[in-house]
Amino acid sequence: MEKDMFEAVDVRSGAPGSVDCELIVVPVFKGEATETQFFAELNAATAGETQRAISQGEFRSGTNDCFIAPLIGDAWTARRVALVAVDPKNLMKCRPAAARIIVAARSHRVREVGFLVRGDVELNSFAQAITEGMLFGSFDDRRYKTGEGRDGPNSEEMSLHVLSGENDEAMVKDGVRRGVAIGTSANLARELSNEPPNLLTPRAFAERARAIVRDQGVEVEVLDEGHMEALGMGLILGVAQGSVEPPRLVVMKHSPAGLAGGPVLGLVGKGVTFDTGGISIKPSESMDQMKHDMGGGAAVVGAMRAIAALELPIRTIGIVPMVENMPGGKAIRPGDVLTSGCGKTVEVLNTDAEGRLILGDALWHARQLGVTHLVDVATLTGACVVALGKVASGLFGQPSEWVHTLQQAADNAGEQVWHLPLYEEYSDQLKSEIADLVNIGGRAGGACTAAAFLRAFTGGLPWAHVDVAGTAWIEESKPEAVKGATGVMVRTLTELASMSETWAADN
């Protein structure tokens, strides 16, 4: 088992002046009075800069402001202080601020950052949010650079500092533990999604997934094309047949000791390692981005790691179908009919609607393995990006109680999802002349008809579908994140598993 994961962020306690790092981060809460002894001491150590910045409005606690000043004299060990504005009513919002600090620290060659966990807030969630944010900001992938581009100060030392009693320290440690499990897992998911498609083939993806979760005690089974053929998974095999790279289906099981009965959460993630569109080929512009068409699968791998690392008391099965969607002499054609593992037949009218095909077989397989509640995460449709932009993921599913549970998990985790409709009529757009279903429903309501297609494979189980086509990838670097994969949904899925007591009984 991996031992050092929880060492990514340190927890220490003591007086603020004794925090021994280059940059100390001090949260200032919205509406907080700064005429206190704490701020008086900080003001003195910054030679009056703190009060000046606050009274002149250079730093405003009600916004996302950040203000950095040098610390002078011997009262504080740290060399600089950063004030960051935090809304005590929405602690998750401090995550981007914590990320920005780490990104800024890196560009200024500051290697040790300590965050002071103070204030009259729930220290557990505050510490978790800070930890997740710092880890998010520390992500800087240089694996494929050489020479000067490769080095760079990419190993910040990050710590959280507690001021008072031991009770607080225990709370902060618990939050940091959750934050580290989730933050490092989200970064592993980002790393996988950024991986170039010539290197992250379905076989390589399967081995990486195995290595990532096995360290946390997750049981892994990798089905190859022979296995899938025996099980009749014609949809996964159909999509894969145009590629020289064989498909894989990864099954990851988290089985907490002593939990025999009860619900089984099934997490399914789209794992298309590259989506050319197949014979219905995509335009070449930005086609390179289709290397992240396995972002949903990466999120499931990341969530399985976090769920197991936190030893969450809920049986969970993660399933990721992995394929490459290529044109070629052996590729499926528009017009082909494929038969799924559950027996349903699909007339493929567009080979670029491949995600729903592989997910159809994967959802069916999850049911075969005995899951009671389903969630899938997929970079499924451009239509979802048109509907919601890059601001929120699309959420679909049934029954509404289960969809609301997922919405609650996302809200708690600070990830934006928006519930979109799944009326019965959408399924009418998927009727085929010659088979049970077609795989595209026309231009109207493209994200909804894709979800309706998936519904046909859920066997009536509680099921939620999250379309992350717009949220799994950012095209331009931002102050809090580098360009590339976001690791979206690792947090929400982990939160969903940790909320299991709230949904296990009533769904």
| Contact window for ligand BES (CB under 6 A) among 59-67, 122-130, 346-354, 489-497 | 346-354
69: helix, coil or strand?
strand
Q: How many angstroms from the chain centroid is the CA of residue 413?
A: 10
* 267 Cβ contact list (under 8 Å, min separation 6): 300, 303, 304, 316, 317, 318, 319, 375, 376, 377, 493
How many residues are given for the chain?
507
Over the window 225 to 264, marking each residue x when it contacts Mn ion by CB under 5 A and - when it does not, the resulting string is ----------------------------------------
Q: For the stretch 256-272, what's the b/e string if a residue is b when 16 or more beta carbons lie within 10 angstroms of its beta carbon?
A: beeeeeebbbbbbbbbb
| Contact window for Zn ion (CB under 5 A) among 131-139, 180-188, 272-280, 428-436 | 272-280
Nearer to Mn ion, 110 or 323 (CB): 323
Nearer to ligand BES, 349 or 504 (CB): 349
Structural tokens at position 197: 């498609």
Q: What's the min distance (Å) between Cβ of 330 and ligand BES?
A: 19
Is position 275 an interface residue for Mn ion (rule: CB under 5 A)? yes
Is position 352 an interface residue for Mn ion (rule: CB under 5 A)? yes
For Mn ion, how many residues bind (rule: CB under 5 A)? 3
Q: Rg of the chain's alpha carbons, rounded to an integer? A: 24
| Contact window for Zn ion (CB under 5 A) among 113-121, 223-231, 258-266, 353-361 | 353-361
Is position 169 an interface residue for ligand BES (rule: CB under 6 A)? no
Side-chain half-sphere exposure of 361, counting CA atoms within 13 A: 35
Is position 293 an interface residue for Zn ion (rule: CB under 5 A)? yes
Over the window 421 to 460, marking each residue x when it contacts ligand BES by CB under 6 A and - when it does not, the resulting string is -------------------x-----x--------------
Which among 178, 356, 367, 455 is annotated as catalytic?
356
* 255 Cβ contact list (under 8 Å, min separation 6): 219, 315
Strands 264-269, 157-162: pairing kind: unpaired
Is position 132 an interface residue for Mn ion (rule: CB under 5 A)? no
For ligand BES, how many residues bind (rule: CB under 6 A)? 16
Percent composition of the chain: helix, strand, coil (DSSP 3-state, to 5): 40, 20, 40
Which among 12, 60, 282, 344 is annotated as catalytic?
282
Is position 485 an interface residue for ligand BES (rule: CB under 6 A)? no
Nearer to ligand BES, 99 or 440 (CB): 440
N- to C-terminal Cα distance for the chain?
34
Nearer to ligand BES, 133 or 355 (CB): 355
Please confirm, yes or no, whether 483 is among the known catalytic residues. no
What span, in angstroms and rounded, lies between the C-alpha atoms of 227 and 232? 9
Maximum separation of any 2 CA atoms in the chain, in Å:
81
What span, in angstroms and rounded, lies between the C-alpha atoms of 454 and 435? 16
Q: What's the min distance (Å) between Cβ of 492 and ligand BES?
A: 18
Is position 275 an interface residue for Zn ion (rule: CB under 5 A)? yes
Is position 354 an interface residue for ligand BES (rule: CB under 6 A)? yes
Is position 467 an interface residue for Mn ion (rule: CB under 5 A)? no
Is position 376 an interface residue for Mn ion (rule: CB under 5 A)? no
Peptide bond connecting 256 to the previous residue in cis, omega within 30 degrees of 0: no
Nearer to ligand BES, 318 or 355 (CB): 355
How far, CA to CA in Å, does 378 sit from each of 205, 320, 371, 462, 492? Answer: 16, 10, 19, 17, 14
Listing DSSP states for 283-343 in one string gives: PSTTGGGGGGTTHHHHHHHHHHHHHHHTT-SSEEEEEEEEEEE--STTS--TT-EEE-TTS
Cα angle for residues 119, 121, 126 (degrees, 5° grid): 95
Find the binder of ligand BES among 112, 352, 361, 376 (CB under 6 A): 352
Helix (H) or strand (E) holding 180: helix 166-194
Nearer to ligand BES, 461 or 474 (CB): 474
| Contact window for ligand BES (CB under 6 A) among 173-181, 348-356, 394-402, 414-422 | 348-356
Find the binder of ligand BES among 8, 19, 160, 353 (CB under 6 A): 353
What span, in angstroms and rounded, lies between the C-alpha atoms of 334 and 331? 10
Query: Is-contact 254 310, C-beta < 8 A?
Result: no
Nearer to Mn ion, 354 or 495 (CB): 354
Over the window 263 to 302, marking each residue x when it contacts ligand BES by CB under 6 A and - when it does not, the resulting string is ------------x-----------------x---------
Q: What's the min distance (Å) between Cβ of 57 and ligand BES?
A: 41
11: helix, coil or strand?
strand
Please confirm, yes or no, whether 142 is among the known catalytic residues. no
Is position 441 an interface residue for Zn ion (rule: CB under 5 A)? no
Q: What's the min distance (Å) between Cβ of 217 and Zn ion?
A: 32
Q: What's the min distance (Å) between Cβ of 344 and ligand BES?
A: 18
Structural tokens at position 12: 């220490």
Is position 382 an interface residue for ligand BES (rule: CB under 6 A)? yes
Q: What's the min distance (Å) between Cβ of 379 and Mn ion?
A: 9
Applying the rule CB under 5 A, the residues between 354 and 373 that interact with Zn ion are 355
β-bridge partners, 264: 315
Summarize as ranges the residues that interact with Zn ion (CB under 5 A): 272, 275, 293, 355
- For the annotated catalytic residues, the residue numbers are 282, 356
Which positions touch ligand BES (CB under 6 A)? 275, 293, 350, 352-355, 379-383, 385, 440, 446, 469
Positions touching Mn ion (CB under 5 A) are 275, 352, 354
